[in-house]
Amino acid sequence: MESYGWLTDRQRSFFASGETKSLGYRIDALRRLKAGIQQRERQLINALKADLNKSEFEAYMTEIGIVLEEISFTLKHLRAWAKPRKVKTSVTHFGARGRIYSEPYGLALILAPWNYPFQLAAAPLIGAIAAGNCAVVKPSELTPRTSETIAEIIRTSFQEDYITVVQGGIKTSEALLREKFDYIFFTGSVPVGKIIMEAAAKHLTPVTLELGGKSPCIVHEDANLKLAARRIAWGKFMNAGQTCVAPDYIYVHQSVKESFLKELESAVKELYGERPLLNPEFTRIVGRKHFDRLKAFLSSGTLAFGGGTDPEKLTIEPTVLTDISWEDPVMQEEIFGPLLPVLEYGNLPEAIREIGNQPKPLALYLFTESQSVQEEMGERLSFGGGCINDTVYHITSPYLPFGGVGSSGMGAYHGQASFETFSHSKSVLKQTTRFDLPFRYPNRKNGLKIIKRFLK
């Protein structure tokens, strides 16, 4: 049985040296990571093209550029984040001072997925480094060229007992999960997320789970249909729909459904051409099993447009399905591909009720000009995060924590949230020795009366 105890022992020993806790060490590590990425930018672009047929534009925008910006943002703010925070003390603590110190957990395990194989391995690593942890990164075996490039960047930038990459399949992940880590960060599916959490429970290891679910996209009757169609087509069909926060289905008001569908078809043609299967820069499906699963969904409802497939290239063109019900197979699980089912609603309470009956999604998107509709949706529906009059863009802001709720995940990251995710907040109360408060002791006459005066 494969074991990585030797690796965790080495990293634990290095962490105990205290080097990773130095702010200067962390800043230098982030700079080295950034330099390593920049030096292999072309190699990463080529690897993403080979693994998923990602265009250079999409590879840089959704993978490389967003990671470089995250590092820059972290370097700019890390000194402020790492400072001990002073907090107020109550009157019962007169003379004392309270502070909260951010300290690293120790050894972090980062399990990354295949859909954004570079970004979703590197982004949590930035937080782990910034907080002062050692880390083991396990990239996806389904994108081998990208995984090897990640390993090369890490291998040439860091010593193995600080940051390292372990490559392999399911057996490798299982072996890593048998080891005791101090924090586990997982991005992937809900079923695997449950396995990760179960494994972490054996060591009482805290986890962040970035999962998924069926993220709704609501198009209300007063929406700017042309703009909504373009932004939905972009958010849904980018990366061939293999995005955890992609709109999973559209819920459109029945009065604008037909007009919206026409705009959506025009937007798809504008972005991907008349024949997307012949577009050399349209991302492919990651593997045969995923392709076959998606192709089976084409039997749901009525084909509005799209539906073409190329089994040899593992490509499915942007596809919209109508006459869909909640019972159709395409509505029973996260699609994670370029298929977009469309449902319709007649009134807002109906839409809120139906969406609220589903598991809490990772994202929710709402297109409307009505402030009251925006507020009602935000107050009555629970979701990880989202956009009003846009899709996906919220995850690119380092000022907005990104994460799920309920079955779509737990914990958040990006920007300061990444630093906080990989840090333990250690509370310390420094008490004065210049005087003592006698009423706290049991032998003080009238002590209880004094305590009751304060504690009520």
Please give the Cα distance from 133 to 156 (Å, whole number): 19
Please give the Cα distance from 49 to 159 (Å, whole number): 29
Show pLDDT as tens, one digit a residue, over the chain (456 residues): 789 999 999 999 999 999 999 999 999 999 999 999 999 999 999 999 999 999 999 999 999 999 999 999 999 999 999 999 999 988 778 888 999 999 999 999 999 999 999 999 999 999 999 999 999 999 999 999 999 999 999 999 999 999 999 999 999 999 999 999 999 999 999 999 999 999 999 999 999 999 999 999 999 999 999 999 999 999 999 999 999 999 999 999 999 999 999 999 999 999 999 999 999 999 999 999 999 999 999 999 999 999 999 999 999 999 999 999 999 999 999 999 999 999 999 999 999 999 999 999 999 999 999 999 999 999 999 999 999 999 999 999 999 999 999 999 999 999 999 999 999 999 999 998 888 878 777 877 777 777 777 777
Please give the Cα distance from 418 to 127 (Å, whole number): 5
Tokens of 345: 């609603």
**Same fold: 5-211+409-428 with 216-403:** no
Q: Which residues does 173 contact at the CB level (< 8 Å), separation at least 6?
A: 111, 138
Please give the Cα distance from 347 to 376 (Å, whole number): 13
Buried b (16+ CB within 10 A) or exposed e, 276-312: bbebeebbbbbeeebbeebbebbebbeebbbeebeee
pLDDT at 453: 75
- Phi and psi (nearest 5°) for 49? -65, -45
Domains of the chain by residue range: 5-211+409-428, 216-403
In this structure, are strands 97-104 and 85-87 parallel, antiparallel, or unpaired? Answer: antiparallel
CA 233 to chain centre: 21
Q: Is 160 a catalytic residue?
A: no
Looking at CATH, the fold of the domain delimited by 216-403 is given as Aldehyde Dehydrogenase; Chain A, domain 2 (3.40.309)
Q: Is 387 a catalytic residue?
A: no
Write down how long the chain is.
Answer: 456
Whether the model clears a pTM of 0.75, i.e. scores above it, the answer is yes
Q: What is the DSSP letter of 438?
A: G
pLDDT at 452: 77
pLDDT at 454: 72
CATH number for 5-211+409-428: choose from 3.40.50.1100, 3.40.50.970, 3.90.76.10, 3.40.605.10: 3.40.605.10
CA 43 to chain centre: 24
Packed helices 144-157 and 41-52: angle between N→C axes, nearest 10 degrees: 160
Given 134, 244, 263, 334, which residue is catalytic? 244
